[in-house]
Amino acid sequence: MSDQIRIGVFVCDCGSNIAGYVDVKALAEYAKTLPNVVYVKENLYTCSESGINEIKAAIREQSLNRVVVASCTPRTHEPLFRGTCEEAGLNPYLFEMVNIRDQCSWVHMQERESGTNKAKDLIRMGVAKAALLEPQESIKSEMDPNALVMGGGISGMTAALALANRGYQVYLVEKQAQLGGLLLQLDTLGPSGVDAAAFAASQAELVRNHPRIRLMTSTQVKDISGYIGHFKVTTASDGKEEQFGVGVVIVATGAQILKPHGLFGYDGERVITQLELEARFKRGTFSAGNVVMIQCAGARIEERKYCSRICCMVALKNAIQIKETHPGTGVRVLYRDIQAYGTENEEMYRRARELGVIFINYDVNVPPKVHGEKVTVTHQLLGRELDLPADLVVLSTPLIAGEDNEAISKLLRVSLDENKFFLEGHVKLKPLDFATDGVYLCGNAHYPATVREAISQALGAASRASIPLAKGVMTVEPIVSTLVDEDACRGCGLCVALCPYGALEIVRTEKGRKVRVIPVACKGCGVCAATCYQHALSINSYTDRQIAEQISACLESSG
């Protein structure tokens, strides 16, 4: 490649999508006048096969060493054009995209002239940046073929088994002595009526006997450092520390139960939680003449705004169980809204009503009152207070975020939502991944889930986690931070503290303390470069100089 910069500019008509609103002929003519531009072509559709072939031919025949495409949007088409450059033997990072559809033709439909002038400016800015682009090589790193699963409840066990069955070594860390999590406290699982403890025990048996699962109970994760492919985990058990390396981490740490102290006269005897009711079923000690269940006890109120989602189904399941085993017992459910989504759960609601369970709606502003052997509730339709007999009151309390969530979120550099549950990377595109690569989540750690949902999520998370494990090698986009001026770096660590991904570290070198970028962990946000007072760091393809050139090109008039 010669030192001379030879830029080719391709202006896309996008049929009439761009050409209908912007004077593309004028753009092409204008592009020819720009510095370093040696070739300009207007295409009907640059992304069509013929458009792509024209780019490839021009790279070869015109010895282009930079390519600028002025068309739709990098969101959808940048990978295609980068690939085109690569196929023609040009480094894909010597490509720059100018957005004249989303930023011109679509938003300036009535302003052909000023829209065209804006498109000219954008092309000038793109060309100015392109001249400064440098080739980049994608970053490769080998994966540690092991996984850490945090939490030995149903989600954690399921995820661990799924990964182990695929042939990966799994470290399953549970802080309690026993596997099973919340399942251990349940009686049966709705809507199928499966025995919860037996189910937990059978899964635990599979986990214990699996040759590829290293089970670590009564163990806490003390520290996790590193990044996808190379996490270094430190655990502690009985004061003994242990270290091992994993490539991926699944967070399945579950949630905790809200003990409703101070709510509706909770005493654990006559006013109990659904969980305590299940314990009575389990021991066979349940007996009551009239049961009143109060939904949303401690949920969807000012201090805890969210719906715990599963409590309605638990109440329905337990109400049915009472009616089936003690037909003479009256069951009344005081609710605000019934959340019984999906066909089976809706069926449970229908069945409960068939069996004579009475549902009474209450208003959050006039909550039911428990006193003595009765519960008073203001009936919304009758508009007056009803006294309901109740020798047993059962509170449907929400699940709340795990007590260790904040500590874990700091260890793994992952986010929590406003209720301190773990926050997925994207609600639709990455529901089981965290924003941090190589870390996944499932089950109650994310949000209250039914056992069935927790299992689906665990299988999904295991599947997501096995993608980088199966590839064995990580390839990362090279748009990352680079220490461009090592002499300037004072090793102060200001950038290290601000990096959202832990992608920077201070190392000792012959020249003293210097920052080192861990490219596989870096996402290229640029916080470090924007912070460094020595201007020692830069971001590939978004350097200070490239951006400054764009600003200059933007503000010089197109005439």
Q: Which residues bind another protein (CB under 8 A)?
A: 74, 99, 103, 106-111, 114-115, 117-118, 121-122, 125, 413, 415, 418, 435-436, 479, 494-495, 497-498, 500-501, 523-527, 529-535, 539, 542, 544, 547-548, 550-552, 554-555
Rank residues 124 and 514 by Cβ distance to another protein and give the closer one.
124
Determine the angle formed by the axes of helices 74-87 and 49-61, rounding to 10 degrees.
50
Nearer residue to another protein within complex by CB, 386 or 416: 416
Please state the closest distance from residue 534 (CB atom) to another protein, in A. Answer: 8
Q: How far is the CB of 121 from another protein (least distance, A)?
A: 6
Smallest distance, Å, CB 69 to another protein?
Answer: 14
> Which C-beta is closer to another protein: that of 41 or that of 118?
118
Q: Considering the complex, what minimum distance in angstroms separates the CB of residue 21 from another protein?
A: 11
Other beta carbons within 10 angstroms of residue 551's beta carbon come to 12
CB 512 within 8 A of CB 483: no
Dihedral pair phi/psi, residue 361, rounded to 5°: -80, 135
Nearest-approach distance from CB 400 to another protein, in angstroms = 20
Query: How far are the Cα atoms of 30, 315, 371, 377, 387 from residue 380, in angstroms, in the given order?
Result: 72, 21, 20, 9, 14
Which CB atom, from 368 or from 526, has the smaller least distance to another protein? 526
Smallest gap from Cβ 436 to another protein, in A, equals 8
Q: C-alpha dihedral over 307, 311, 315, 317, to 10 degrees?
A: 130
Q: Decide: 70 and 119 in contact? Cβ < 8 Å.
A: yes
CB of 275 to another protein, least distance (A): 32
Residue 442 CA, distance from chain mean position: 10
Q: Position 544: which residue type?
A: D
CB 372 within 8 A of CB 387: no
Using DSSP, state whether 356 is helix, strand or coil: coil
β-partners of residue 39 are: 8
- Indicate the residue among 106 and 244 with the shorter CB distance to another protein: 106
Instruction: Indicate the residue among 94 and 179 with the shorter CB distance to another protein.
Output: 94
- In the complex, what is the shortest distance from the CB of residue 24 to another protein, in angstroms, rounded to a whole number? 16
Task: Select 144 or 424, whichever has its Cβ closest to another protein.
Answer: 424
Q: Report how far apart the first and last C-alpha atoms of the chain are (Å, whole number).
A: 33
Q: Which is nearer to another protein, 108 or 332 (CB)?
A: 108
Q: How far apart are CA 345 and CA 413, in angstroms?
A: 37
- Name the residue nearer to another protein (CB basis): 12 or 537: 537
Minimum CB distance to another protein smaller for 398 or for 526: 526
The helix (H) or strand (E) run that includes residue 29 is: helix 24-32
The Cα–Cα gap between 136 and 543 comes to 13
Specify the DSSP element, H or E, that contains 454: helix 451-471
Nearest of 237, 213, 253, 136 to residue 542 by alpha carbon? 136
Long-range contacts of the stretch 417-424 (C-beta < 8 A, 24+): 419/304, 419/305, 419/306, 421/255, 421/445, 421/446, 421/447, 422/251, 422/446
Report the C-alpha gap between 88 and 53 in whole angstroms: 9
CB of 496 to another protein, least distance (A): 10
DSSP state of 101: I
Nearer Cβ to another protein, position 126 or 247?
Answer: 126
Residue 151 beta carbon to another protein: minimum distance, rounded to whole angstroms: 23
Which amino acid is present at 158? T
Minimum CB separation of residue 480 from another protein in Å reads: 10
Indicate the residue type of 61: E
SS3 482: strand
